[in-house]
Amino acid sequence: MPEGLGYCEDINECQTDGIYYCGRNTNCQNSIGSFSCVCKGGYHNFIANEGCSDRNECALDDPCNPGQAACLNWDGGFKCLCNEPRFRECSGGLSCCDVNECWEYHGLGIGDNPCSNPERPGCLNWLGGYTCEKPLVLYISGSPYPQYSEGDVFMWSDAYRTFKPVCDFSWSSNDVKVACRMLGFTHGNITRDSYFGRTGTDFIYSTFVCDSTEASLNDCPRDGEGQAVGIHTKCTSSTTAGVKCYNG
Q: How far is the CB of 64 from Ca ion (least distance, A)?
A: 13
DSSP code for 15: G
Interaction between residue 238 and Ca ion (CB under 5 A): no
* CA distances in angstroms from 220 to 4, 175, 213, 227, listed in the order given: 84, 8, 10, 11
Our finding on whether 202 is near Ca ion (CB under 5 A) is: no
What's the count of helices (H) and strands (E) in the chain, helices before strands? 2, 17
- Of 182, 185, 147, 187, the residue nearest 166 (C-alpha): 182
Q: How many residues bind Ca ion (CB under 5 A)?
A: 6
Sorted by sequence, the CB contacts under 8 Å of residue 5 that are 6+ apart come out as none
61 is a contact residue toward Ca ion (CB under 5 A): no
Longest dimension (CA), the chain: 93
User: In the bound complex, what is the minimum distance in angstroms from residue 40's beta carbon to Ca ion?
Assistant: 11
54 near Ca ion, judged by CB under 5 A: yes
Q: Which is nearer to Ca ion, 54 or 202 (CB)?
A: 54
73 near Ca ion (CB under 5 A): yes
- Of 9-17, 73-81, 149-157, 233-241, the window that binds Ca ion (rule: CB under 5 A) is 73-81
Amino acid identity for residue 147 in this structure: Q
Residue choice 13, 89, 98, 223 for contact with Ca ion (CB under 5 A): 98
The backbone region for 18, taken as left when phi is positive above 0, alpha when psi lies in -120 to 50, beta otherwise, is: left
Identity of the residue, 50 or 54, whose beta carbon is nearer to Ca ion in the bound complex: 54
The residue (of 73 and 170) whose beta carbon lies closer to Ca ion is 73
Provide the mask over 124-143, with x wherever binding to Ca ion is found by CB under 5 A and - wherever it is not.
Answer: -x----x-------------
Q: How far apart are CB 55 and Ca ion at their closest, in Å?
A: 5
User: Which is nearer to Ca ion, 91 or 173 (by Cβ)?
Assistant: 91
**Are 204 and 155 within 8 A, CB to CB?**
yes
Helix (H) or strand (E) holding 31: strand 26-31
Interacting residue ranges for Ca ion, rule: CB under 5 A: 54, 73, 78, 98, 125, 130
